[in-house]
Amino acid sequence: MRLDRFLYHHSPHGRRDIRPLLAAGRVRVDGEVEKNSQHEIGDFTQVELDGVLLRSDTPVYLMLNKPAGYLSATTDSQHPTVMELIDERQTLHIAGRLDRASTGLLILTNDGKWSRRLTEPPQQKGEGVPKVYLVATADPITADTHAHFARGIYFAYEDLTTRPAGLEVLAPRQAKLTIYEGRYHQIKRMFHAVGNRVTALHRVSTGDIHLDPGLEPGQYRDLTAAEVSSIVPAHEIGPPPRRAS
């Protein structure tokens, strides 16, 4: 298999990201930096991306109850990373990051094709995988927040409008929020756009994968076969929820 194809299948990156990754020297083949996308990968070739070994014969799928204070990253010189909590860390990547202060469901795998279903924004009609969060805010959640989120919030930096999100207010400063994509700091930016501020964020589910209440912060377990197969390709998911009129 060619190196670019191998990277596509064994990392969470999309096709367009592969060449820049190679050009930046982030990929090593059998210990040497390799920039040639056509390089042939054999059965026993070792491929590393950012120092993480990608090849693995058996797929691994884990859920971690992420504690606050841990970065969703492989290594960091300043802060502890979630990988430090995991034994099989050499081969895993994170399918949908959480900010350092955020807590809850974090999914890790070595199956790039599967994790792309969770993280790739839906291309056209597909709704995307719903991610449900418990959110605490600094100020009371105003009555119009629901309509703003249902309409979508414009992010100027990316020049896009977020997909309609579902908001259920649980208490004046507490809500359950369902989003269908995972933009950078998405929820913080959504609340900021309506003049509020997120003070705590906890992910409870991604699709039909729910954070196991038996996991203490920092603990993890394998996903069940049913949890793994519950995540289907985006084109098999129905149309997006209707916008509020």
Binding letters toward ligand URA, positions 20-59, x by CB under 6 A? ----------------------------------------
Report in angstroms how near the CB of residue 73 gets to ligand URA at its nearest.
13
Report the site for ligand URA in 140-199 (rule: CB under 6 A).
Answer: 185-188
Asked if 124 and 118 touch (Cβ cutoff 8 Å), the reply is: no
Q: Which CB sits closer to ligand URA, 27 or 71?
A: 71
- Is residue 99 annotated as part of the catalytic site, yes or no? yes
Contact 106, 134 (CB under 8 A): no
Task: Give the DSSP letter of residue 243.
Answer: P
| Buried/exposed code over 166-194 (b: 16+ C-beta within 10 A; e: otherwise) | bbebeeebbbebbbbbbbeebbbebbeeb
Q: Which is nearer to ligand URA, 12 or 29 (CB)?
A: 12
- Name which of residues 90 to 109 contact ligand URA (CB under 6 A): 98-99, 102
Output the CA–CA distances (angstroms, integers) from residue 109 to 11, 29, 79, 124, 155, in the order listed. 9, 21, 22, 26, 30
Cβ proximity to ligand URA: between 27 and 98 the closer is: 98
The footprint of ligand URA on this chain (CB under 6 A) covers a number of residues equal to 8
What is the residue type of 6? F
CB of 190 to ligand URA, least distance (A): 8
Q: Tell me, what amino acid is at 221? A: R
Taking residue 163's Cβ as centre, other Cβ atoms within 10 Å add up to 19
Catalytic residue among 99, 139, 144, 212: 99
Which residues are known catalytic residues?
A: 99
* Binding footprint of ligand URA on the chain (CB under 6 A): 98-99, 102, 185-188, 201
